[in-house]
Chains A and B, each alone.
Chain A
């Protein structure tokens, strides 16, 4: 089971309630909203399906998974990425967590500071001249950046 937090819950439940039907137990997930949870469940199901299809061929699994991940990223809004990361972290779903962290990093690669601020809805809180000083000190890093 990929959702380690849920698995843990099942293990605990089984230790306490051997006789009662586990299928009717409600599992509380207070920190996960329905939308990211839905995406994570789909991701998990897809991952398991691809793995089953390519049981012996690890490379094929990785390739198919990558293709699926690219498609998924196109449908996910940047703002949702943080919620997805929070959900994956709470559920202790390592593969999804790694994937969404990488996705956030890729989204801000080779982009200008203004783009990164806009992406996360942030404002600069530097004092006057502080940002200019930073740009001067690290002038080399501001060449060849993608135009937004």
Chain B
């Protein structure tokens, strides 16, 4: 005998919600909401997809509202102005947007998400040892790294700030290779530990092509708002690419990532000061543009989540783990700019490339320091 045990009818709504909230895979929740009209309405009315996304990414608690852009065939609510149907339409919109978000957060291509370097808290021998050196892996034609200025107090920290490819990314891990002197002492200038922050710019700054030189003119905390701070990870004093996997994937809202390098370990034998050097940085995750974009509402710091219905919805199969170490188009472009930078310096053409706008002419002796990686 077929017994109808539709638990939605039998159980308290709270318990039914509890059961469906145990479904962690967004596909399962889609299936549940496709079983029948009452199940679909139950999932929508209780905002179960929103709950699922909030569990995956607590950073979404700052969402003020969602929007759908470029929606084709958008239909008007049945009774325009009826508060019930407006509320239902809002719940249904949340349902669609959060379902899409849950899906793209787990399926879009995994890649290096750094778009460009913004600034470092201090730089030695700018621009030779600037933060831009960290954008290319160490096997390029010269040993290149960013170096901080020296300090006699090893407790003085440093920070590196990067702009990501999109203002809405899911970040899973960060790889950092400390800088190492390759010709003489073989000293490795790692830090004691690292910590990561993610956030957005304060106000409608466009940091696109503006670089803040070898040191921030003002406190980074005045320029950026940090919405996520990671735990502290110990760093090994080894000159290899070290992996720092975040405890949970994190939604970076605003596309700005800061690496805090805490505690200096290596003294330079010439001047006796402590330095920190980094030769390569990778930020691994998924960019969610153009399918999703955000508008940050100042001064509340909340944001509007926008789903572009006509945004690219390409979902290739997940790539193997070592994909992150292959050179992407972006890296080739950065490599090209780096070459262009060096060639322009050789030719004394300091204005050709914008990111050397602080370059001081006449430092021809740098050419003599050309080194080749061993």
Contact = CB atoms under 8 A, between A and B. Distances in A.
Interface stretch (B18-26, B127-135, B189-197): B18-26
B22 A105 contact: yes
B27, B34, B36, B38 — which one has the most chain A CB atoms within 10 A of its CB?
B34
Given A82-B10, A89-B15, A124 B27 contact: no
A89 B11 contact: yes
Interface stretch (B1-9, B342-350, B366-374): B1-9
Given A122-B6, A126-B37, A109 B103 contact: no
A110 B25 contact: yes
B312 interface: no
Interface stretch (A49-57, A67-75, A113-121): A113-121
A109 B107 contact: no
B15 A109 contact: no
Contact of A141 (B11, B19, B38, B103): B103
Nearest to B14: A89
B28 A126 contact: no
B12 interface: yes
B12 A105 contact: no
A101 B315 contact: no
B32 interface: yes
A46 interface: no
Given A89-B15, A101-B18, A122-B36, A82 B7 contact: yes
Counting chain A residues whose Cβ lies within 8 A of the other chain, the interface size class is 35 or more
State the majority secondary structure of interface residues on A: helix
Given A116-B35, A122-B36, A110 B27 contact: yes
A105 B29 CA distance: 10
A69 to B, nearest CB: 14
B80 to A, nearest CB: 23
Contacts of A147: none
Given A79-B3, A110-B27, A116 B32 contact: yes
B10, B26, B28 — which one has the most chain A CB atoms within 10 A of its CB?
B28
B54 interface: no
A51 to B, nearest CB: 24
A116 B37 CA distance: 14
B4 A122 contact: yes
Contacts of A2: none
B31 interface: yes
B30 A141 contact: yes
B99 interface: yes
B99 A104 contact: no
Contact of B315 (A102, A108, A138, A140): A140
7 closest A-B pairs by beta carbon, nearest first, are: A105-B22, A141-B27, A141-B30, A82-B5, A121-B4, A138-B30, A101-B19
15 contacts: A82-B10, A82-B11, A104-B19, A105-B22, A108-B23, A111-B31, A120-B4, A121-B5, A122-B35, A124-B36, A125-B37, A134-B34, A137-B96, A138-B34, A140-B103
Interface of A: 78-79, 81-82, 85-86, 89, 97-98, 101-102, 104-106, 108-113, 116-117, 120-126, 131, 134-135, 137-138, 140-142, 145
Given A82-B10, A89-B15, A108-B28, 15 more contacts: A85-B11, A101-B15, A104-B7, A108-B23, A111-B28, A112-B31, A117-B36, A120-B4, A121-B3, A122-B35, A138-B30, A140-B107, A141-B103, A145-B27, A145-B31
